[in-house]
Amino acid sequence: MEKKVKTKNLDFVWLAGLVFVDKDFVKKVDEYGIEKVLQHCPYKDLTEQEKNSFVQAMSVPRLRAIVEEWWKAYDLARTRGELKKPEAGDEPWHPYPY
């Protein structure tokens, strides 16, 4: 039996992933605005409820601080050698066209 890939909420999952994949995500939200970031959701299935949830989450200082703390912990682990270094040719991923 063939498994079906989940095809709902893909933009919401994409946004949630960006928080921890794009080191400058919070800065980009501040610089360009959350609406500009939301325009680049690739699947175009973001519901109003999901959009509102994400916008509200990005307005909570403690949640934003958690993201920044996560990146500090990640960078510390990387500099300590606890994380595998990228292979030659690995490029940072930038999901935005700006």
Residue 84: count of CB within 10 angstroms of its CB: 7
Pick the closest to residue 63 from 28, 19, 33 (CA basis).
Answer: 19
Q: What is the pLDDT of residues 20-35, one digit of tens each?
A: 888 889 999 999 999 9
Residue 35: count of CB within 10 angstroms of its CB: 10
Q: What is the pLDDT of residues 47-69, one digit of tens each?
A: 999 999 999 999 999 999 999 99
- pTM of the predicted model, to two decimals? 0.71
